[in-house]
Structures are given as structure tokens and as C-alpha cells.
Amino acid sequence: MVRADEGMWLPALIEKLNINQMKKEGCLLNAEDIYSINHSSLKDAVVSLDYGSCTAELISEEGLLLTNHHCGFDEIQQHSAVGHDFLRDGFWAKTKEEELPNSGKSASFLIRFEDVSAKILPELNDEMTSNERSRKIREISSTIEKEATGSDPYEARVQSLYNDNRYYLFVYETFKDIRLVGAPPQSMGKFGGETDNWMWPRHTADFSMFRIYCGKDGKPASYSADNVPYKPKYHLPISLKGYKLNDFAMVLGYPGNTNRFKTSFGIEFTMNVTNPIVIKVREEKQRIMKDFMRTSQKSKIMYSAKFAQSSNYYKYSIGQNKGLESLNVIEKKKQLEDQFTQWANSDTQRKAKYGEALSLIASAYKDVVDESASEYMSEAMVRGPEIFYFAYRTRPLFEALKMDKNSEKVSLATERVKGGLDEFFKDYDSETDQKIAAALFHIYQENVAPQYHPPFFKIVKSKYGNDFDKYMKDLYSRSIFGSEAKLVHFFEAPKAKILEKDQLFQVALEIFRMRAMIGEETEKTKDALTKGNRLFVGGLMEMEAGKNFYPDANSSMRLSYGTIGGYIPRDGVKYDYFTTLQGYVQKGIPGDEEFDVPAKLKVLYDSKEYGRYADSDGSLHTCFLSNNDITGGNSGSPVINGKGELIGIAFDGNWEAMSGDLTFENDLQKCINVDIRFVLWTIDKMAGAQNLLDEMTIAN
């Protein structure tokens, strides 16, 4: 069994920190081959999708992108309808003219990275309040960002790492004409559904394909029929040779968020407050959505993406709590904190500098009534029903109408909301949203302190006998936000009085006023928590000065390296490091929405028609395990062998190590990847999209 290699490393620093160890494990590349600002390198073939939601890699000279099926799920769903259900049937553009544009989708390239700590840290001191410190950081960062971009069409961001102990500049180039090229049917791209999510063994063809388009000058441009495929600085060659046990593997991508420096106090809050709230609220929301999705093909298409977004983090929260408990993480954190306290107290200067770190953090978690209300507000009201946030977007129009009903502000505010009507109502069912609102607002009422109940709760009690179902039915039916037709009519001649009398709109205002009020209360502990975390992490780095520290993930590009291998999750169970198409077929349940096997796949399996994609053992590998360190945002990241060739796409972590965002478990942490040969086999044998294969650089 191979132990996991911990670390989400900044690619610009691997020459200094990692390359020697990487070469010992089988990497044949130099650091400059991976990250360079002087010539093309691997970094130029990897993009951040939608500012950090996922990762994708370039696999052709014509801007062809490969990512996960779940990273393209929203776009596949948006383009689907009963007559052309791309979720159910898949989608393949056989020509570039058939590729589908996607409003709002983006792909960002990292241009360069720079440590700017020396420009910021000397300007800060411990006498500053949190707000003063933040203002000074923003002021200096703004100057650095402006200087970094100049006249170039770039975006620059200064981000803090190591809990505000270091600052780095990241410069990006972002393309916004990204078109859908291909995706397997959901029965392949999401095979196993929620049952298999976060689990091993997996057999999922979790991939989709997009293409970057740009202006004829090669620069980013808004969608236009005149745009051309982007010519990248570099694209990844693809290997058909596969992998063996203990082979080197690295992942280059944009992991979203980890918090591995979080203390025992924070872990307890996560386990006892955050995760239970997520589980309780989303379980009820998903039950209602699922009931609606079962009513028709149309309803299933409408709510598929919403359900997937909700259920992913729901199951994650369950797994994370189980992992934190079974791995005794709180006790391990306390042991480190005890060691830190002894180290800090053993020296007068250290005690003066770091002695209050843990007490500051502890004080921030002493009373969690406000924080609990904040978590319920986010889950039950802001992310719960959809109509209240949509209605709240009309507030700028309401304010403009009160000031001057004929002003330019009124026109702009009207168009801003009116422009999103069709997109919103296309995948919205009012009755389902009513049920979600009634159920989740009742959960909020039962679990949140009365001082944080919005005023309309009193009306529900006094006039509706605390019957949220009855109240919501009334509220939705009388509101202009109850249907697209009513809103279209309102926007023909918008009036402030209509919004003043619209109770749903007023409820939306009450919700967000209460959210702001809760935010003011939670803000009171922010100074102590921020300062405590900064001192704790700064002290840890000083206490273990000989250790190479990597920063928590923050949607910036990171590299993780390791090897191919299985693992032992519990006594008597040993997992192999790959799965095959045989296992896919064996899992099949005819007609089941999660495990139905496409008929064509079954035929190809029976005839063993694997072509050049078969492994040396004669089977078609579907997925494999490596011990790379990944998290959300890494979805779609390339898995690259020691020669710099693409061998797979990362798409998941394993159930036994769901605590990984808070603490790394060397013996259990695994990265689940779809085998690139399964991807190519699907494109070739299942889709017949030879046009896409012809673009790629494939090494036999």
C-alpha cells in the first residue's frame, strides 16, 4: 500500500521545494517544463473554469478542452429539452458549427505568479484593527494589481496565503467564449449517481468537452460567430500506455478551498454546527426536488443541475463528519495545540508574540448562537427557495422608482432583472419552490433563536396558525413574482407602489435585512478569530522552521504529486487501484436511474471491442486511483505521468478520507480518476466523433 503524498504546492516554487523528490518518485520533467514564464510549459495547458469552480486541460492545437461531466453539467442541462435531452442521450458536435455557446462560462490561464509579501507586510502592525489592516492591504494590493496588468487585457489578484502571513500576486488571462463540444449520456457521465458519489470502486465516464474561442487576434472576446478557435501555447499529449502500480502521477489544477490549519475549536464548530445544518436542510430540500423530478422528463431536466449541486455537498458533509470522528481529528488537533502552547510559553519573546493566539480563537467560538443563525440563514433562506433571492435583485429598481420613476437608473435596473427572466423561469417550478420555502422556513423557525426570526414569522403564527404551507401558497399566488407572465407585465410599466404592496418582495427584503443583522453580530468575533488564526499559523511555521509548508487551497493553481496505488479502507478489505468495463456492466441495473447501462456499451463489451484503448491485460480500464492531494475545484484536473502525458482526469475523493479538507490522512487519502483510454474509447466507439480524435496528439 502506497502512502499519500500530502501537499497542494505552488507550481512556481517546485524548483525550490519539490522537484528533487518528484524525480525520485519517477518524474522525468524539469521544473521549467511544468511552470515557466519564459517558454511554454504544462501550466499553459491547464485552465480554471468559471473562476475556480472546476479545472480543464487543453488537448489540441484548436483550443479543445477536457473536463469532468459534472463540471459541464449546468451547460448540458441548459441546452437540454424534451426534444433533445442531452443529459439523457449525450451530445457530440461533429463540426465546429454544431458547438454550443454558453453565456457566463469562462476559462482562465495563469500568466504569472509573484510573492509580494515584502510590499505588504512591512506596512502592517499588530496595533491595527481588523478593518484597518484590511483597508491597508486592499490599498497596497490595488496598486500592485494595476501595475501588474498595465495595458494588457489581464486580470490581477493579490491573495493572502498561510492565514494572512504571506501575500502573492496572480495574473490571469480569461476567455469568455467557451462552447460545448461533447458529453456522454448521463448514464455514463454520472454512472452510479449519488450512491457511488465519493465512493470507490468507480466506473464513471466523468468527462465533458468544450472549446475556447477568441477574436481573430488571439485575444479574449465576447461570443461572436466571427470568433475562431484559440491556439494555445501548449496542449497535453495523451498516452495510451496506461500505468502500473507505483507509477508517478501528478495533478495540476485549481483546488478551491481547504482549511488544514483550522484548530480544534473550528473543527468542533464544523462537526456540531455547520455540517448538521447542511445535512438537515438539504435533506428536506432534496426530498421535495426529487418528488417533482419524478413527475416527468421535463421536470427531471429542469431540476437535475439544482439537485446535483445540492446533493454533492450534502453527502460530503455526512462523510466529513464521519471521517473527522473516526480519525479522531479533534484530539490530534489538540495535541498540536498543546505542543504549540508549550513552545510559545517557553520563550518570553515568543509568548509575547504568539501567547494569545489560541485564546483569541477559543473566544470566537465561545457562543455560537449568532454563527448558528448565520448558517441556517445561508442554507434555509438564501440557498433554499429561489424566488426570494430573485425578488431581492429587484431592490435597486425599487429604490430608483422611489427617487425618480423616469430616471436612467430605473431603465438600467429594469433591464438588469428583466434580462434574466427567461433563463430563471426556464428551470423553475413555482409550486416546488413554495414547498421548499414552507419546509425550510419552518426548520429555520424551530432551530434559530427568536431574535433572528424575520418579522413575517409573526404573521405566519398569528394569521396562519403557523402553517407555512398555507402562508407560502397565499404569498406566491398573490405576488407579481409568482409567474413570468406577471413579471413581464410589471416591467412594461414598473411602479414603486406595486413593489411596496407585494408581500413576497417585502418578505425578501426582510430576509436580507435579517441576514445583514446576523452578519453584524458574527462580525464582532471576526477580529479575534482572524488575528488568532494569523498568529497561530505564523507561530507554527516558526516552530517547525525546517518543514516545507504549503498554503491552503484558494482557487489558485497548485500541483500535487504522488503515485498510482490502491488502499486498505478497513480490516479485511483491500481495494485494487483500477476498475474495468467488466465491473461497469456487472453493476448495471436495467431501468435504474443511477445504474442503467447503455445498450450500445453492453454490445461493445460483449464483443470486447476495445480497439487500441485496451490495457496490456486485455481489459478496458475505466477508472484508477492515485494518492494525489486534491479537493473541490480540482474536478477536471489532468492526471499526468512522469513524461508529461495525460493519463486521466481527476474527478473525486474517497469516502474514507472526507475529512481531507481539514486534515490530510496519509494512509487513506485517494484521488479517483477516469482513465483517459476510457474517455477516448467513449468518444470513438460510443459517439463516433472521429473529428475530435483527429485533433489530439495521441501517443500509442
Angle between helices 357-364 and 329-345 (to 10 degrees): 140
Note if 635 is an active site residue. Answer: yes
φ/ψ of 604, rounded to 5, equals: -65, -35
Distances in whole angstroms, Cα of residue 5 to Cα of each of 25, 568, 622, 626: 11, 16, 23, 10
Q: Where are the alpha helices (DSSP H) in 524-592?
A: 526-543, 581-587
> Could you say which DSSP state residue 122 is in?
G
Residue 476 makes CB contacts below 8 A (sequence gap 6+) with: 387, 430, 433, 434, 482, 504
Q: Is 206 a catalytic residue?
A: yes
| Alpha carbons 621 and 111: distance in angstroms, whole number | 35
Q: How far is the first Cα of the chain from the last one, in angstroms, to the nearest whole number? A: 29
Which of 69, 70, 203, 621 is flagged as catalytic? 70
CB hemisphere CA count around 219 (13 angstroms) = 4
DSSP 484-542: HHHHHHHHHS--HHHHHH-HHHHHHHHHHHHHHHHHHHHHTTHHHHHHHHHHHHHHHHH
Q: Which of 33, 85, 164, 206 is catalytic?
A: 206
Strands 567-570 and 558-563: unpaired
Any bridge partners for residue 650, and if so which? 673
Q: Residue 151: how many CB atoms within 10 A of its CB? A: 5
Rg for the chain (alpha carbons), in Å? 26
d(CA 379, CA 277): 8
Cα 512 from Cα 210, distance rounded (Å):
37
Query: How far, in Å, CA of 441 to CA of 289, rounded?
Result: 16
Whole-number Å distance between alpha carbons of 272 and 151: 50
Residue showing cell 473516526: 326
Rounded distance, CA 31 to CA 14, Å? 6
109 half-sphere exposure, CB direction, 13 A CA radius: 28
Query: Other C-beta atoms within 10 Å of 497: how many?
Result: 9
Residues 490, 418: Cα–Cα separation, whole Å: 10
According to DSSP, the residues that pair with 275 across neighbouring strands are none
Contacting residues for 481 by C-beta, under 8 A, at least 6 apart: 387, 390, 391, 487, 502, 504, 505
How many CA atoms are closer than 13 Å to the CA of 381, on its beta-carbon side? 27
The one catalytic residue among 310, 555, 635, 659: 635
Question: 10 Å Cβ neighbour count for 256?
Answer: 20
- Residue 99 corresponds to which amino acid? E
According to DSSP, residue 385 is labeled -
Residues in the chain: 700
Catalytic residues: 70, 206, 635
